[in-house]
A and B are shown apart, each in its own frame.
Chain A
Amino acid sequence: MDKQVVLKGLVEAIRSAATELPADVIVALEDARAGESGVGAVQLDAILENVVQAREDSVPMCQDTGIQTFVVRVGAGFPLLGDLRELIEKAVRLATQDVPLRPNTVDPIHGGNPGDNTGRHIPYILWEVESGNTCKIHLLPKGGGSENCSALRMLSPGAGLKGVKRFVVDHVVACGGKPCPPGIIGVGIGGGADLAMKLAKLSLLRPVGVRHEDEAVANLELEMLSYINESGVGVMGLGGKTTALDVHIEYAHRHPASLPVGLVYQCWADRRKTVSIDAAGHVEVS
């Protein structure tokens, strides 16, 4: 298996994630535009124009190109399993120069910024090792403004799903325009504190408009989406009908004493790409 081909695929995925918004998000933004007037319409027109220009000029659609985050779902028999971390770090360094990306990794203890989007634990890689010999690498470069609106609430189980709904709606409303709405609200329910946050983030890998396979969860997603959009926070927090494009929920079984709810707010620039590598080393970026 040719490492250079994988490296090239990774760099291309980082570039296209930063410069091309997924089609499902564009459709959701266009639908939202059709329902807005006034300031909301002005803002959505600017977003949609920006998306076109970023693609045409091959430049990042948002100057905050994020912390480079990768979800690696890899077969235990994948030939390059042991090389993936090094390849991903190398791709991030190359893409930082080539795209270019903004150098976004700051040392919180000693100060300073290496300037290449790498550092301690960064790029962040979430590993999921499965059986098989293929590999899927999901990219989720996410900006700081929306990440700052993440939240965790350890609810009493007695609060139930009503408590979950209230927490999510209240939090999204409290964030107002800060996370660049209309965005996607990722919600993780259950597990422990860390798992609830992880599930919330993983839920963002799902395209906009695609419902959870469990009908009860799917209904909960739609119900929360409708409450959030009734709030009137609106595009960029300037009022209107569209505050969120979608709500995605993932869940885990919980401890009898705990009802953790993790919330990860994704901005309208819902950047996602996937690098698929088969057992023969063919690389596809989608």
Chain B
Amino acid sequence: METVLTTPLEESKIRALHAGDTIYVSGLMFTARDDAHHVLLQAAGEGASLPLDPGAMAMFHCGPVVSKTGEEWRVVSAGPTTSARMEMFEADFLDRFGTRLIIGKGGMGGRTLDALQRAGAVYTHFTGGAGALAARAVRSVPAVYWLDELGIPEAVWVFEVERFGPLTVTMDAHGKSLYDELAITVNKNLEAIHVRIEEEE
């Protein structure tokens, strides 16, 4: 059965998800790359009021291609960027804002996995590079923040989306990470490959 979650996301629905599930999301999401994480955390740390509520939306690790007609922005292509770069920010980000759904690619580390459990949040993988597929799910661009300061790829874009996905839950709110499990298998395979290389003529 296809699971479509709608923002704002309920904690119980997120905690009901498990690594390996495939879901879709409808509603609002904001984009955040390295600089956006930095700017949002810094602003919140200084007690500034934020123009958006990062806890009410899904977060997308993405630097989109966009075009502007009149005053209206259109998303042209918007796949995920590599999430590992955001590891240095993400646990603090989740603790502070309570964001419940992260969309990215490549997975994140142990600090984030711990923070997902505390926040009642999941990390999901969207197919890397599938920028056209993502763009088709974006219905509108209600807002963009820090565009002048950060430039197009790094700015905080707000997307209204419908059935955005497929998103594979790869790190859940129960401390399970598909990446950690897979690493055990891959390392075992790699040892066998090393033996075969050594045994060659």
Neighbour of A61 across the interface among B62, B77, B182, B197, CB < 8 A = B77
Determine whether B79 belongs to the interface, using a CB cutoff of 8 Å to chain A.
Answer: yes
* B65 x A65 contact (CB < 8 A): yes
Determine whether A275 belongs to the interface, using a CB cutoff of 8 Å to chain B.
Answer: no
Spot the interface stretch: B7-15, B113-121, B187-195: B187-195
Q: A165-B197, A269-B129 are contacts. A238–B178 as well, Cβ < 8 Å? A: yes
* A166 x B77 contact (CB < 8 A): no
Total chain B interface residues with beta-carbon distance under 8 A: 48
Determine whether A133 belongs to the interface, using a CB cutoff of 8 Å to chain B.
Answer: no
CB neighbours (8 Å) of B196 from chain A are 227
* B128 x A236 contact (CB < 8 A): yes
* B197 x A180 contact (CB < 8 A): no
Determine whether A155 belongs to the interface, using a CB cutoff of 8 Å to chain B.
Answer: no
Q: How many A-B residue pairs have CB under 8 A?
A: 165
Q: A46-B166, A145-B81, A162-B200 are contacts. A176–B130 as well, Cβ < 8 Å? A: no
CB neighbours (8 Å) of B135 from chain A are 57, 59
Q: A54-B131, A162-B198, A267-B128 are contacts. A170–B190 as well, Cβ < 8 Å? A: yes
Docked Cα-Cα span, A100 to B133, in Å, equals 16
Total chain A interface residues with beta-carbon distance under 8 A: 51
Neighbour of B82 across the interface among A102, A145, A165, A170, CB < 8 A = A145
Binding site for B on A (CB under 8 A): 39, 42-43, 46-47, 49-51, 53-54, 57, 59-65, 100-104, 113, 115, 143, 145, 148, 162, 165-166, 169-170, 173, 176-178, 180, 227, 230-234, 236-239, 267-269
Determine whether B132 belongs to the interface, using a CB cutoff of 8 Å to chain A.
Answer: yes
Q: A39-B20, A102-B152 are contacts. A239–B132 as well, Cβ < 8 Å? A: no
Q: How far is the CB of B102 from the nearest CB of chain A, in Å?
A: 15
